[in-house]
Amino acid sequence: MNERPQQIPEVREPLPQVERAPLIAGNWKMNLDHLQAIAFVQKLSWGLKDVGHNYGEVEVAVFPPFTDLRSVQTLLAADKLSLSLGAQDVSPHESGAYTGDVSARMLAKLDVRYVLVGHSERRGGHGESPELVGEKARAAHAAGLVPVICVGETADDLEQHGAAAIPLAQLESALATLPSDAEFVVAYEPVWAIGSGQAATADQAEEVARALRESLRDLRGDDRAAATRILYGGSVSSQNVAGFLRQPNVDGALVGGASLKVDEFTRIVQFRKHVTAG
């Protein structure tokens, strides 16, 4: 009889226990002008104050269009609000003849902390390649911003390759150009769930988030894998957010449509109330 070496599945040590403060991020996309943005952020901060929200426990970020950033920054600074500011895109270049682009340094000057890279609406709608997504992440980091690397499979990908294969490949490619000490956030957003009203299940989100974290161990080592926040995005609402956040590898939500309704977004931020309520 042939003695074949058996495939022994790799059993890994558990990751070090690290507290990851959840991040609830509102991606406004191309909505709200700067006046509406000011009114919205004011209302949001009052609402969160009323419910005694602790920003140290759950970080809240808004990602307005470029034209709103200065107005929102001014408001956050004047009223000493603890909301974080994010941008929806960034140029891979430092400066120069790039008509229409906005550099990471310009964003950093506006106290922007996060920037989305690789959102499916940019990969798909603007033909952004995996290399370009990596370049944008690198440029963001170089200016002191934290890139939020968006990954996710289309419905076709899901059928052909399963849920995790494409997100894992996209993450690996985005990290290829990012220095090894860079802080980043990962947002898992199945393309079929974005804006469709058909969110992934909490189990589906956890399965891919877990695979992404395992891959981060290989790509960046255990400490970075344990510290990195992985968000779920795609039709998140106050009805389903608690289920996602209950998962051990889901550390927040990237919210599109529901982040434009101030009461609904306030409820989403308070997901802990739903979690403890079961």
Residues with catalytic roles: 119, 189
Residue nearest to ligand PGA (CB): 256
Least distance from C-beta 122 to ligand PGA, angstroms? 10
Q: Which is nearer to ligand PGA, 160 or 196 (CB)?
A: 196
CB–CB of 274/241 below 8 Å?
Answer: yes
Least distance from C-beta 96 to ligand PGA, angstroms? 30
**Token pair for 68:** 């709103």
Q: In whole angstroms, give the CA distance from residue 229 to residue 186.
A: 6
Least distance from C-beta 85 to ligand PGA, angstroms? 16
Q: Which is nearer to ligand PGA, 189 or 206 (CB)?
A: 189
Q: Which is nearer to ligand PGA, 225 or 268 (CB)?
A: 268
Least distance from C-beta 196 to ligand PGA, angstroms? 7
Containing 25, the helix (H) or strand (E) segment is strand 23-27
CB–CB of 103/143 below 8 Å?
Answer: yes
CB–CB of 54/256 below 8 Å?
Answer: no
Q: Which is nearer to ligand PGA, 92 or 256 (CB)?
A: 256
Binding footprint of ligand PGA on the chain (CB under 6 A): 27, 189, 194-195, 233-236, 254-258
Q: In whole angstroms, give the CA distance from residue 257 to residue 27.
A: 8
Residues pairing with 231 in the sheet: 187
Q: In whole angstroms, give the CA distance from residue 103 to residue 109.
A: 10
Q: In whole angstroms, give the CA distance from residue 137 to residue 116.
A: 9
